[in-house]
Amino acid sequence: MLKIVLGNKKYSSWSLRPWLVLKQTGAPFEEVVVPLDMPDTAENIRRYSPSGRVPALIDGALTVWDSLAICEYLQEKFPQQPLWPKDAAARAHARSISSEMHSGFTNLRNDCAVKFLEQFPPGELRPETKSEIERIKAIWIECLRKYGGPFLFGSRFGIADAMYAPVVSRFRTYSIPVEGPVKAYCEAIWDLPALQEWLKAARAEKLRAKFHEP
């Protein structure tokens, strides 16, 4: 059975991404949740992941780490599941925006840390962060118009949606205004049964990690 190693579900946006994709495959899997910000966190993660970071996917003797690498592996392992679009051009588009999410939007990450269970009133954001938010909205609008929604590449949730799911949470947590197709997309992601399952588990966690909580 597959095993996925995660950080706390209250905080770990990078863990959420491949977890959602793994849920989409329908395959059974085991979870290991490593508490973050503890004295033994690094030691515990290295038992599973050579990078010393979560997430990691264990498939027998094979370990795959890094969120996007895990998603790619899952597509190869479950080719019957269209986790990437079947059309080559759409697939290249999906990989491009997923990689842009993977490597970019540093200001949004730093200024709007993921707190899946919290909501704050609107606050002033730096121009650099606002610019990244507008870029994300533009990506979503282009995809929704081109491929028909309700997800970025059509009717089925895929890897690209998983890569942007924590952004939906950030928009919600920090009361970032959305409207039209962006609002509809955020609602579609938030209402996913898998995401709601993740949030339920996050609510049940008792740990308050020192670097993630005031």
Domain regions of the chain by residue span: 2-81, 88-195
Question: Any bridge partners for residue 62, and if so which?
Answer: 59
Rounded to an integer, the average pLDDT of 22-48 is 92
pLDDT > 60? residue 28: yes
pTM equals: 0.95
CATH topology of domain 2-81: Glutaredoxin (3.40.30)
Please report the pLDDT score of residue 39 as a whole number. 85
In the block, residue with structure tokens 């995660």: 6
Please report the pLDDT score of residue 206 as a whole number. 81
pLDDT > 90? residue 109: yes
pLDDT > 60? residue 24: yes
DSSP string, 80-99: TS-SS-SSHHHHHHHHHHHH
Please report the pLDDT score of residue 144 as a whole number. 98
CA pair distance 130, 58, nearest whole angstrom: 38
pLDDT > 60? residue 114: yes
What's the distance, CA 191 to chain centroid?
Answer: 15
CATH code assigned to 88-195? 1.20.1050.10
